[in-house]
Amino acid sequence: MGCGSSTSTIQKEENEAATKIQTQFRGKLARDKVTQLKQERDERLAAEEQERQRLAQEQKEKQERNSAAIKIQALQKGRIARKQLQEDKEAVIKIQALQRGKMTRQRLAQQKAEQEEIERQRVIAIEVAEDADDSTAVLGKITIKYNHYTQEYDIRNGRLKKQNFFSLLDVLEGAKLHLSDKLAGFSGELYKLSPRAGTYECYSDLEDTKTYYVIVEKNAEAMKRLRADRERRERERKEQEANGGDTTDARVSNNEDKSSCSCLWGNPCVVEYNCNDWENRMKVARANGMKQR
C-alpha cells in the first residue's frame, strides 16, 4: 500500500514535471516565434522605410534635375532672347544707316542734277544769245558729199543744224548721219550731232569752204531686217525661175518698192535696199557712164 502510493506520487510528479517542461518548451518556442515574427516585422518595416526614403530621395533628385533643367532652359531662352534683341538692334541700326546713306545719295544726286540743270540753262542762255546776235555771227559755206552726190550748205558760227543729207534718213531706218573731214570716213575727224540751245541738234566746229563727207552709222536691227528681206526676195526669184515664171523682182509685183537700181543709169545707189549689186555698185555705175569726179 505504501509502495504503490509512493510510486503513484512519483509518477504524478514526473508527469507534472514533464508537463511543466513541455509548457516551458512551448512557451520558449512561442516566444522565439514571437521574437522571430517581431524581428521579421522590424526588418520589413526597416526595408519599407529604406525603400520609402530611396524613392523620396529619387523624387527629390528628379525634382532637382527638373529644376536645374528648367533653370538652364530659362537661361538659354534668356540668352537667345538677348542675342535676338541684340541682332534686332543691330539690324535696325544697319537699316537706319542704309536709309541715311540712301537719303544722302539721293540728296547728292538731286543736288548734282540741279547743278547740271543750272549749268545747262546757263549754256543754253549763252548759245541763244550767240545765235541771236547777228553782229558777231560768222557766216560761211561748206560742201557736203556722199558717194557721187554733192551739195553746199550755209554755216553760222561754225555750226550746221541737223540735216537729212540727200534724204538718206528717209530710206535708212534708224540710221545716224555724221560728218568727216576725210573721205576715208572714221579715220578722219568725226563730227557728230550735239545739242544746241536746248532746242535743236547741230554739227559744230565746221570750217568755212571746207568739204565734209557723210558717214552713215547704220541701225543694226534695221540692217538685219533688210538682209532678211533681200534673202526672201532672192528665194522668191529663184523659185520663180525654177517654175518657169516671170523673174521680175517680187517687190515690184507686190508694190513693195517700184524704184529701180540707179547703178544701171550711171548713178550708184545710195541705199542697199534698191541695189541689184550693192558690193559692186561703184563699178557697175562706172560701167554705165558714171562721170569720174
Mean of pLDDT over the chain: 81
> How big is the chain, counted in residues?
293
For the ranges 62-71, 129-138, 147-156, 246-255, the lowest mean pLDDT is seen at 246-255
DSSP state string for 63-109: HHHHHHHHHHHHHHHHHHHHHHHHHHHHHHHHHHHHHHHHHHHHHHH
For the ranges 154-163, 186-195, 201-210, the lowest mean pLDDT is seen at 186-195
Cα–Cα dist 146/164, whole Å: 12
Q: Where does residue 276 rank: exposed (0-12), middle (13-18), buried (19+ CB within 10 A)?
A: middle
The pLDDT of residue 110 is 92
* 3-state per-residue secondary structure call for 252-277: HHCCCCCCCCHHHHCCCCCCCCCCCC
Q: Regarding predicted confidence, which is higher, 169 or 244?
A: 169
Helix, strand counts (H, E) of the chain = 5, 8
The pLDDT of residue 112 is 92
Residue entry with cell 528628379: 62
**Residue 143 reports pLDDT greater than 90:** yes
pLDDT band at 291 (very low <50, low <70, confident <90, very high): low
The pLDDT of residue 246 is 56
The pLDDT of residue 170 is 79
Residues 6 or more apart whose Cβ sits within 8 Å of residue 174: 219, 221, 222
Cα–Cα dist 132/126, whole Å: 10
Cα–Cα dist 157/150, whole Å: 22
The pLDDT of residue 102 is 87
Cα–Cα dist 223/270, whole Å: 14
pLDDT in tens, 70-123: 888 888 888 888 888 888 888 889 898 888 888 889 999 999 999 988 988 888
pLDDT band at 2 (very low <50, low <70, confident <90, very high): low
